[in-house]
Amino acid sequence: MADDYLIEVDDCIKRYGGVVALKGVSLRVRKGSVHGLLGENGAGKSTLVKIIAGIVQATSGTMRFNGEEIVDADVKAMEEKGVFLVTQEPMIVEPMTVADNLMLGRWPARSGFVRDRHMMALATSFLEEANLDPRRLASTLSVVEKRKLNILRALHSGGKLIILDEPTTALTMADKHQLFTFMKQLRAQSVSFLFISHYNEEILEICDEVSVLRDGQMIGQGQVVSHLDSSALSEMVIGRDVHLFKRVTDEAKGDVVWTLRDVRASGLSVDRLDIRKGEIIGFAGLPGSGAKELGRAIYGLMPSARGFLDESGVAHALPRDPAEALRTGIAFLSEDRLRDGIIAIQSIAENMTLSSLPAVSRFGWVSRSAERQLVEKFWRLFAVKAASHAAPLGSLSGGNQQKVLLSRLVATEPRLVILNEPTRGIDVGVKEEVHRLVDDLSHRGVSVIIITSDIEEMLRIVDRVALFVDGRISAIEPAHGLTKEDVFEMAYSASDRSVSASHQPLH
Amino acid sequence: MNTKTSVMPTVAVAPGAVAKNAGASPSVQLLLKYVVWIWLVGLVIVFGLLNKFFFTTSNLQNILTQATVLGLLGLAASLPLLVGEIDLSIAGNMGISSAIGALAILQLHMPTFLGVIVGVGAATLIGFFNGLCITRLRMVSLIETLGMMIILQGGLLAITQGATITDFTDAYTWVGQTTVGGWPVMPLVLFVGFIGMAVLLRRTVFGRKLYATGGNAAAAHVAGIRVNKVKIVAFTLSGFIAGIAGYFLASWQMAITSDQGEGFLLYSIAAPIIGGVSVFGGRGDTWGILGGVLLLTVIHVGLAVVNVPSFYVDMIGGFLIFIAVAVDAIRVGMGGTR
Ligand SMILES: Nc1ncnc2c1ncn2[C@@H]1O[C@H](COP(=O)(O)OP(=O)(O)OP(=O)(O)O)[C@@H](O)[C@H]1O
Ligand SMILES: [Mg+2]
């Protein structure tokens, strides 16, 4: 029956100049259901949901909301109908309070003056269950809290369809769980969700139905999730089952090449860590435990950090800045692409060669042919999908942006690589490619540090796991034989121990 | 109120801007990219129809000569803009540095070429100092250079004691006055300057670093670019070019007034922006800057040539600039890149 559907999109086409992002797509989302949207990088998922939310206009096609035909609606019009898009980056005005953000643009006002006290009262009653203090400054919120606030804003404004574009990136397991519980509560109140993710297990856990886009076309529309499993999902997404990569740990290990000594910074205290040539080591730990911080310190992104990073027995102080780190043969992948990864307005080629300018230039002059060669090499290696080398990087899909950043990093021919959330926003197929590439790097003698909140992924590709608790390395274990649960237990129990230890009265 | 877009600036500015773009077809985009040139040609035709004199060789020479100083200043203004900063002190720098050079020649009896070097050197140092303040001391460039502008303007008034410096040596005024085969040599400097800038921006490693720094300073830093150094060099080079412009202005006018250069400030910043240089950094190219400079000069000269009463010149000129910027804004909205 037609009125079971909250939103119905038909024959939707979207052109970006010469690129056809959507080639006649149809989508139906039932009332009170969580509808998954899957697809490779660049398949058109974000484009489709932006059209539904009124952020971009379709080139052609029809759309109905609650059975009513929608024509030329913009964001505001769609929000009034109850459609809200929560983008991957939470949209929050940081210097304002939680209450301000909750009612952003719809503040209760009388003749132009915001009725502050009234607003606080409203917000307090609304946020009671959500466990958020309306008076808090939004800038003090964590990533989940911000995302939650975005969802709450949608609800508060009468949201009936909430679209979440890759909402789980950067969330820890606990955060994710919290988010899903929240979604399930809302579903029970007959709110619908359109949920984009690259993680099969998330789709299987939270979604009722799933649709799959491939190359701008709908491959499977409204498939019932309870009939599917992970490999069936992968097969729909990339046309074949993914063979999960598993690193074969080399027993005859290389020599220790890198030695971290006496690293000290605020909230970080690591006495010693040896990393072998061609070894892949994972840094695991709860947020703030020091895993990310140590990665940044090694790359010179924590100027206040003191300590040594010896290479082959030669003592070196930690690099002062990234430029020095790169010269020492260290490369780094940022966890936050948009913030300090890509230069969106610049071309793919310029972005790719940015860290290896010395290699493509002579006496300060950029050699065009050297540059073209380098770009073409990585373009092929990573199978970048884009119109041309000159396309602005910001116009690529998230996964393709990540490929360009990885190219930038590998192009520097590093000897030690620090990868922060390397597969963030990457589709299942490319994820395995990235794993293979990292494995490949290690076989060529590059030492690799991987920092990721996806512990399952980490365990498949690293040799050893260093577990961080309260700024220290509390354990280093071979990955072989470890399970996700082991790692969590270690992280939590160790932090519990140290918490209770810190409560001990001083003698 | 459109709440979604009003929240965007936190992170998604750049991708958002790109997202809007791609609607226009490539040929339309190319057209939009050089809209300043279309606008320029249109105005030249209109002025020419209003007064035949506008198309004469001597008027062309006049325009190119006038465009030289503004052109150099436009280049000087562009460098800080490209790295996402702004320098309001370049016009003041131009005035005071030329006075320092001239006084070194006239009062300290330095040889002319040495005096010119002293003047340009002073300008370069001022630029370097601005760069230091903005990077090392993290001063906001808009305010820091505003303060510097006032200091430099006051300084010029102080060292000239309100008088106009004249009586230059012949060697000093040679560049501004000489003609070869009836053609002034000044415009040559304009072309050398623009070709040099084009090469710097497009072909050198430093050019890449400038665009990267302006495009996303945090990302450039992580990619191993010493962002502060790039900014300091940009400001220093900007000061150097302002110094050269100062010498040419003085040599051409054969005078340094106690408010030398002040009238250039707004035009020198407007020219690159009209030509597509973004105030947010990372966007803009030499063709655009040249187009902006010529457009402003043509407006200026054209209004004089068609005998617009002087009371109206500023107002009409302002209107024309306003329209040019509006057209440019539409261009950016519809998908021009740099
Ligand atoms: N503003 C734009 N300009 C030009 N092309 C664009 C633009 N936005 C998207 N595209 C293109 O449209 C296609 C679909 O992009 P979209 O962002 O919808 O993919 P996606 O499925 O969300 O991918 P990902 O999983 O990587 O986020 C891609 O080929 C992309 O390059
Ligand atoms: Mg996407």
**Measured in angstroms, how far is the CA atom of residue A435 from the centroid of ligand 2?**
21
Q: Is the pLDDT of residue A503 over 80?
A: no
Class (C level, CATH) for A243-329+416-425+449-507? alpha beta
DSSP codes joined into one string, B255-324? -B-TTTTGGGHHHHHHHHHHTT--TTSS---HHHHHHHHHHHHHHHHHHHHTT--HHHHHHHHHHHHHHH
Give the integer Cα–Cα distance in Å for A314 and A332.
Answer: 22
Do residues A410 and A446 touch, judged by C-beta distance below 8 A?
no
Catalogue all structural domains in chain B, each as residue range(s) with its CATH number.
21-335 (1.10.3470)
What is the per-residue pLDDT for B321?
77
Mean of pLDDT values over A166-170: 79
Contact flag B216-A340 (C-beta cutoff 8 Å): yes
Evaluate whether B126 touches B152 at the Cβ level (below 8 Å): yes
DSSP state of A356: G
Mean pLDDT calculated for residue range A375-387:
89
Show residues of chain B in contact with A106, CB under 8 Å.
3
- Find all residues with CB under 8 Å of A13, minimum gap 6, and list them: A20, A22, A23, A24, A25, A58, A59, A60, A61
Q: What is the mean pLDDT of residues B184-210?
A: 95
pLDDT for the residue A500: 41
**pLDDT, mean of residues B81-108:** 96
Three state DSSP letters for A406-434: HHHHHCCCCCEEEEECCCCCCCHHHHHHH
Confidence at residue B279, expressed as pLDDT on a 0 to 100 scale: 86
Answer whether residue B318 shows pLDDT above 60. yes
Per-residue pLDDT, B16: 34
Atom of ligand 1 nearest to the CA of A39: 21
What average pLDDT does range A307-327 have in this prediction? 95
pLDDT for res A459: 92
Range A161-168 average pLDDT: 90
- What end-to-end distance do the CA atoms of chain B give, in Å? 30
Distance CA A325, CA A301 (A): 9
Contact A214, A40 (CB under 8 A): yes
Compute the nearest-CA separation of B200 from chain A (Å): 9
Q: What is the mean pLDDT of residues A1-23?
A: 86
Distances (CA, A) of A88 to A46, A71, A91, A167, A171: 10, 26, 9, 6, 11
Give how far Cα B58 sits from Cα of B46, B53, B55, B183, B185, Å: 18, 9, 9, 9, 14
For B:254-293, CB contacts with A below 8 A are 282-283
On whether the CB atoms of residues A159 and A83 are closer than 8 A, the answer is yes
Over residues B230-239, the pLDDT tens digits come to 999 999 999 9
Say whether residue A137 is in contact with chain B using an 8 A CB cutoff: no
Interface pTM, i.e. ipTM: 0.85
DSSP 8-state symbol, B163: P
The answer to whether B186 touches B253, Cβ cutoff 8 Å, is no
The highest-confidence range among A101-105, A175-179, B228-232, B285-289, by mean pLDDT, is: B228-232
Q: Which two tokens stand for residue A99?
A: 């209450």
**Average pLDDT of the residues in A231-245:** 84
- d(Cα A391, Cα A400) in Å, to the nearest integer? 12
% pLDDT > 90, chain A:
51
- B101 has pLDDT over 90: yes
Looking at residue B6, its pLDDT comes to 34
Distance CA A189, CA A184 (A): 9
Q: Are B265 and B138 in contact (CB under 8 A)?
A: no
For chain A, the domains span 2-92+141-238, 243-329+416-425+449-507
Q: Is A443 exposed, middle or buried (0-12, 13-18, 19+ CB in 10 A)?
A: exposed
Q: How far is residue B114's CA from residue B22's CA, in Å, rounded to a whole number?
A: 53
Structure confidence by residue, pLDDT tens digits, A482-492: 888 888 888 77
Does residue A106 have a pLDDT over 80? no
CATH topology of domain A2-92+141-238: Rossmann fold (3.40.50)
B203 in reach of chain A (CB within 8 A): yes
The answer to whether B1 contacts chain A (CB < 8 Å) is yes
Higher pLDDT, A121 or A250: A121
% of chain A with per-residue pLDDT over 70 = 95
* 8 A C-beta contact, residue B266 and residue B12: no
d(CA B36, CA A16): 25
User: Which ranges constitute the DSSP H helices of chain B?
Assistant: 3-7, 13-21, 26-33, 35-50, 57-82, 90-106, 112-135, 141-160, 170-177, 186-203, 205-215, 217-222, 227-253, 265-274, 286-305, 310-334
- Residue with the smallest CA separation from ligand 1 atom 1 is B19
What is the pLDDT of chain B when averaged over all its residues? 87
Measured CA angle at A377 (ends A376, A380), to 5 deg? 80
pLDDT above 70 (res B246): yes
**pLDDT value at residue B116:** 97
Work out the angle at residue A393's Cα, subtended by the Cα atoms of residues A390 and A399, and round it to the nearest 5 degrees: 125
Per the rule left: phi > 0, alpha: psi between -120 and 50, beta: everything else, B214 is alpha
Q: Is it true that A2-92+141-238 and A243-329+416-425+449-507 share their CATH fold? A: yes
Residue A506 has pLDDT above 50, yes or no: no
Among A87, A382, A397, A434, say which to mutate for ligand 1: greatest number of ligand atoms within 8 Å of CB.
Answer: A397
> Among the ranges A73-77, A264-268, A351-355, A496-500, which has the highest mean pLDDT value?
A351-355
